[in-house]
A and B are shown apart, each in its own frame.
Chain A
Amino acid sequence: MDNVIIAKDLSLSYSNNETIINKATFSISSGSFVFITGASGSGKSTLLKSLFGALNPKQGSLVVGGVELNGVSRSKLNFLRRHLGIVFQDYKLVKEWSIEKNIMLPLLINGYVKSVALNQVEKLLKHVRLNHQTGKYPFELSGGEQQRVAMARALAHNPILILADEPTGNLDEYSSQLIWNLLEGANNQLKTTVIVVTHHIPKSLNVDYKHFHIEYGSIHEVR
């Protein structure tokens, strides 16, 4: 199996040069389901940011989907991101857009025909159990519902890799369960690689997962 992510001696830090991740080497094979855990402030979000190119590696090599991210050009990064589905703890929905338009964003960027995109959005809305909320704006929805919109957006364009940063961090039970089911489904049925940062690994998950733990700037494979 191919590796969708290969990190070699990867070091990460922000502009203040404090090392967050120190010379980490790991790889993630295509189609796997990966949990990343660690104490608050240990660098989970930082690692995830580096995976979608929002933070350039300080040192070492980081290849995602065949693209070397250390010193990557903007156009190559855009190309990679069009094949990623990212879910954030704070949803990052576009406020002034309806939920349909938000879900459609990756389809729009990937150049889908309008009618195909609309069809896809309708399916996704059913998928995340929001078909009764059509035409609404993010601020009219609960946190759990907003995260389901974000989840639908992340799945819309059949990404090769889903990156989720504490997607169920502060959600209601129903929404959390739904999000886990959707991530599980994408991994089981579409063989999408899923990487989730979380504090609690759900017990009822029906996937064979890997588990990395971050501590003192190092990444250990727990399972």
Chain B
Amino acid sequence: MKSVKNHLSLVVALLSILFSMQVFFIVERSIDAYKVNLSNNYSVIAVSKKELSSDEFKGINKIISNAEELSPDSVIKRLTSDMKSTNVELLKLTLPKFYKLSLTYYPTPQEIKKLRSDLLGSGSITKVEDFSHNHDTVYKLLLLFKKVVALFAIVVLIVTVLLIFKELRIWQYKHNERMTIMGLFGAALWLRSAVLFRLAIVDALVASFLAFGVFMYLSSSAWVAEQFNNIGINVLIFNPIEDFLIILGVAITISILLASLIVLGHKEEA
């Protein structure tokens, strides 16, 4: 019971750090997935004097993934209800070409500006409609969301670190006595601190595996999957190898850092 209590405080603190970190990753991935989603629904209209192929458009700016020519038929129909068909064909030839450009990913406002000037500077394109006002609003909303989540993660981190430091003083006191006694019998520093480092590493492992269990559960949960489906994105909640290694690395680094702080702060009483 006593040994469980010894471990609990650091494990809980580590868990809250690992959780806020992983949640931040998930949000970042969601935003990326959402951006792909947006780019599928976002397109730029370009008007050209002459016919241009999809590849020619790609040559103008790499962000363009596809160009689809818009048929002018519906426009022409309204204009030409009482025109002879030969004249209509003639009119069609003189009309500029309209293209709907799809993009590989959701661009930043700067990238849109660049795309626009690239297109207009290419020669045959005379007009570009990028719906930039619309775009800017959505983009700014996304950035705001990301900032809020990052802020939240940082606040959790700061609060946790403060809690850990408070705990550290108790630890320092607790371990100081044993380390002093070991020192009186000539134990070298590494031996005096071995117990502490073992405790720290065990706690890091426990916290990492707990986090692993929870995130594995979440990533297999139907309810969570449904929430993401509802906003139309597919997000990797937890990569059992890569994400776990990151979690393990962070947990071990933090706990070893804490143990080192205790060892460095160790004062022998004369």
Contact = CB atoms under 8 A, between A and B. Distances in A.
B186 A105 contact: no
Contacts of A95: 177-178
A78 B177 contact: no
B75 interface: no
B270 A80 contact: no
Contacts of A106: 185-186
A55 interface: yes
B189 to A, nearest CB: 8
B182 to A, nearest CB: 7
Given A14-B270, A54-B270, A92 B184 contact: yes
A121 interface: no
A81 B182 CA distance: 10
B191 to A, nearest CB: 7
Contacts of A78: 183, 186-188
A52 interface: yes
Contacts of A54: 184, 268, 270
Interface string A69-101: 000001101111111101000001111110000
Contacts of B184: 52, 54, 81, 86, 92
Interface in B154-211: 177-178, 181-189, 191
A113 interface: no
Contact of B191 (A49, A77, A109, A153): A109
A52 B188 CA distance: 15
A56 to B, nearest CB: 9
B181 A105 contact: yes
Interface string A139-177: 000000000000001000000000000000000000000
Contact of A96 (B178, B186, B187, B188): B178
Contacts of B182: 94, 105, 109
A81 B268 contact: no
Interface residues of A, number: 27
Nearest to B189: A74
A109 B178 contact: no
Contact of B270 (A49, A83, A109): A49
Given A92-B181, A96-B178, A55 B187 contact: no
A95 B181 CA distance: 11
A14 B183 CA distance: 20
A83 B250 CA distance: 42
Contacts of B188: 75, 78
Contacts of B186: 77-84, 106, 109
Contacts of A86: 184-185
Nearest to A80: B186
Contacts of A14: 270
A94 B185 contact: no
Given A94-B177, A94-B178, A96-B178, A105 B185 contact: yes
Nearest to B6: A96
Contacts of B191: 108-109
Contact of B185 (A74, A75, A82, A96): A82
A54 B182 CA distance: 13
Contacts of B187: 78, 105, 109
B134 to A, nearest CB: 65
A184 B229 CA distance: 82
Contacts of A82: 185-186
A84 B186 CA distance: 9
Contacts of B181: 92-94, 105
A60 B2 CA distance: 48
Interface of A: 14, 49, 52, 54-55, 74-75, 77-84, 86, 92-97, 105-106, 108-109, 153
**Shortest beta-carbon contacts, A-B, top 4:** A81-B186, A82-B186, A78-B186, A109-B187
Given A96-B178, A109-B186, 18 more contacts: A54-B184, A74-B189, A75-B188, A77-B186, A78-B183, A78-B187, A80-B186, A82-B186, A83-B186, A84-B185, A94-B178, A94-B182, A95-B177, A105-B182, A105-B187, A108-B191, A109-B185, A109-B187
